[in-house]
Amino acid sequence: MKIKRIEHVAIAVRNLDAVRDTLATLGISCDHEETLPEHRIRLAMLPIGESALELLEPQDETGATAEWIRTRGEGLFHICLEVDDIEAALAELKGKGIRLQDEVPRSGHGGHRIAFLDPASTAGLVVELVEMTGAH
């Protein structure tokens, strides 16, 4: 499995607008916002070089991001690593004994194909894999 880059670092926030505006004062501007109802989040992507910060704001109290904030507070949520072939990456990692939260890729930010690894297999770090579809 070849990791191409850190695609983004996700930060769980209560108020996306406030954090986005604060980061803008640092010269970090938002280039994309979307709501993902199936994940119960609103997100903003703020590119920095070849990577981005992803702000995640829960849309209700039932999703994973809301649970994260409730139990751990705002802050680092996960890192996302870009791979060329997500199915091959998942198969390779599974073969190495890494447990997967997503056995099959699903749709994520920007319509890209994503899958999460089980943090119990990655020293507690939440890791997302992404296979970029189209322009990024």
Amino acid 133: pLDDT: 83
Using pLDDT thresholds of 50, 70 and 90, give the confidence band for residue 110. confident
Q: Is the pLDDT of residue 131 over 70?
A: yes
Those residues with Cβ within 8 angstroms of residue 102's Cβ, 6 or more apart along the chain or in another chain: 90, 114, 115, 116
Count CB atoms within 10 A of the CB of residue 123. Answer: 7
Q: Which of 93, 26, 29, 33 is nearest to 59 (CA)?
A: 33
The predicted structure's pLDDT at residue 136: 47
* Residues 12, 72: Cα–Cα separation, whole Å: 10
Q: Which CATH number fits domain 3-131: 1.10.260.40, 3.10.180.10, 3.30.1490.20, 3.20.20.80?
A: 3.10.180.10
Asked whether the predicted pLDDT for residue 135 surpasses 70, the reply is: no
DSSP assignment letter at 122: T
Q: Residues 6 or more apart from 92 whose CB is under 8 A from it?
A: 1
Domain extents in the chain: 3-131
